């Protein structure tokens, strides 16, 4: 015959152990954050209940030359594309997203944040916004692009920098910023995508439209994102992110003490992940050896010297990085 008293004791112990397990499991979920590198300055950030996309550019079109300048170098014209037999694009061509690639890798999203409206940041956003119904946050330039594609106003949140908004289970501070000093500091463009832009949008019409950074506060993580290799010092000072998605392409060399100032102003984050270093004109899966050796690794070496306690992670395309709270 089973002793009733022993059964009660066993039951109490079982409930106690289940509560401990549930508490530990909940804390683990809350403390974890997942980051997936989409290429260029693009990321997917996932926590316990939201999927946030940042500059989601996945089409990776084979663009000859640059969208921001008319001239095309001989090297660009004669580039060996190997086995990449996709169509070539030029800056005067209409932009056509590669929807099959996007559909392969993006199934849902709750929010989309865009740093600026160059094609490698914003060109895929209208399609992804239509596909997912996500709220889209960015400049007026981005809002004009979205409306031209029929995205409804209640899906568009227009910002200019300075806003500090609460969303579902995170908050975000919108920071005014600066674009990279392209072409040896000759780049400058104060234009925005106009309200009357026609679709399909021509590649050269994806102008900057002002630059932003975003400071996300998730449950146990603070993430600072960059869409360029530049920043406004007093806008990022004392934010103290534990995760920094740091612009690391070679245009950073045009900025005075770029890496040293960036790390100092952000108080030497626990985790530093290089972003916007890859060759985003070649498909996923093609080797990124040249970009890694010429852009990512030199930046990583700078960080190792200047912030030896920081964990540095070189991201791989479409591979999730899970980070626990420190």
The SS3 call for residue 217 is strand
Q: List the beta bridge partners of residue 174.
A: 214
CA distance linking residue 196 with residue 174, whole number of Å? 26
Q: Which tens digits make up the pLDDT trace of 219-260?
A: 999 999 999 999 999 999 999 999 999 999 999 999 999 999
Query: Which two three-digit tokens encode residue 318?
Result: 């479409």
Q: Which tens digits make up the pLDDT trace of 265-290?
A: 999 999 999 999 999 999 999 999 99
- Report strand pairing: 311-312 vs 271-275: parallel
Is the pLDDT at 29 greater than 70? The verdict is no
State the pLDDT at residue 189.
Answer: 85
Q: Are 144 and 124 in contact (CB under 8 A)?
A: no
Share of the chain above pLDDT 90, in %: 79
Q: Out of 31-35, 54-58, 120-124, 263-267, pick the least confident.
A: 31-35
CA distance linking residue 58 with residue 160, whole number of Å? 25
Work out whether the CA dihedral 201, 203, 209, 213 comes out positive or negative. positive
Assign a CATH topology to domain 32-323: Metallo-beta-lactamase; Chain A (3.60.15)
321 Ramachandran zone, left/alpha/beta (phi>0; psi -120 to 50): beta
Place of tokens 């950074």: 213
Residue whose C-alpha is closest to residue 54's, from 149, 138, 160: 138
Residue whose C-alpha is closest to residue 191's, from 124, 141, 232: 141
Taking every pair of Cα atoms in the chain, the longest distance, rounded to a whole number of angstroms, is 91
CA distance linking residue 249 with residue 276, whole number of Å? 6
Q: Which tens digits make up the pLDDT trace of 162-207?
A: 999 999 899 999 999 999 988 788 888 889 999 999 999 999 999 9
DSSP symbol at 296: I
CA distance linking residue 119 with residue 142, whole number of Å? 11
Q: Where are the domains of the chain?
A: 1-31, 32-323
State the pLDDT at residue 30.
Answer: 60
How much is the pTM?
A: 0.90
State the pLDDT at residue 3.
Answer: 54
State the pLDDT at residue 66.
Answer: 86
The SS3 call for residue 110 is coil
State the pLDDT at residue 22.
Answer: 36
The torsion angles phi and psi of 15, rounded to 5 degrees, stand at: -60, -40
**If pLDDT is split at 50, 70 and 90, which confidence band does 6 have?**
low
Locate the DSSP E strands across 133-209: 135-138, 156-158, 164-166, 171-177
**If pLDDT is split at 50, 70 and 90, which confidence band does 25 have?**
very low
Q: List the beta bridge partners of residue 112.
A: 53, 136
């Amino acid at each position: 015959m089973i002793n009733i008293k022993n059964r009660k004791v066993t039951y109490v112990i079982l409930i106690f152990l289940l509560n401990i397990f549930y508490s530990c499991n909940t804390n683990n979920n809350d403390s974890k954050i997942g980051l997936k590198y989409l290429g260029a300055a693009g990321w997917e950030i996932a926590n316990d209940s939201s999927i946030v996309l940042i500059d989601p550019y996945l089409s990776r079109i084979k663009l000859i030359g640059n969208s921001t300048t008319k001239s095309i170098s001989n090297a660009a014209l004669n580039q060996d594309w190997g086995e990449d037999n996709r169509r070539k694009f030029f800056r005067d061509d209409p932009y056509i997203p590669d929807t099959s690639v996007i559909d392969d890798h993006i199934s849902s999203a709750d929010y989309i944040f865009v740093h600026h409206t160059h094609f490698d940041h914003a060109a895929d956003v209208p399609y992804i916004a239509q596909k997912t119904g996500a709220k889209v946050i960015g400049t007026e330039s981005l809002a004009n692009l979205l409306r031209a594609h029929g995205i409804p106003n209640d899906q568009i949140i227009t910002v200019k920098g300075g806003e500090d908004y609460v969303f579902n289970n995170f908050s975000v501070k919108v920071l005014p910023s600066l674009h990279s000093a392209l072409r040896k500091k000759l780049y400058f463009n104060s234009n925005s995508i106009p309200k009357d832009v026609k679709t399909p949008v021509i590649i050269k019409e994806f102008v900057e439209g002002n630059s932003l950074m975003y400071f996300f506060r998730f449950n146990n993580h603070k993430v600072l994102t960059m869409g360029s290799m530049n920043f406004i010092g007093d806008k990022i000072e004392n934010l103290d992110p534990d995760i920094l998605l740091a612009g690391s392409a070679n245009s950073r060399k045009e900025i005075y003490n770029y890496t040293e100032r960036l790390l100092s102003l952000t108080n030497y984050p626990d985790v530093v992940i290089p972003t916007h270093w890859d060759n985003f004109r070649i498909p996923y899966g093609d080797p990124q050896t040249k970009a890694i050796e010429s852009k990512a690794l030199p930046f990583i070496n700078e960080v190792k010297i200047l912030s030896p306690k920081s964990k540095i992670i070189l991201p791989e395309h479409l591979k999730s990085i899970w980070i626990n709270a420190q």
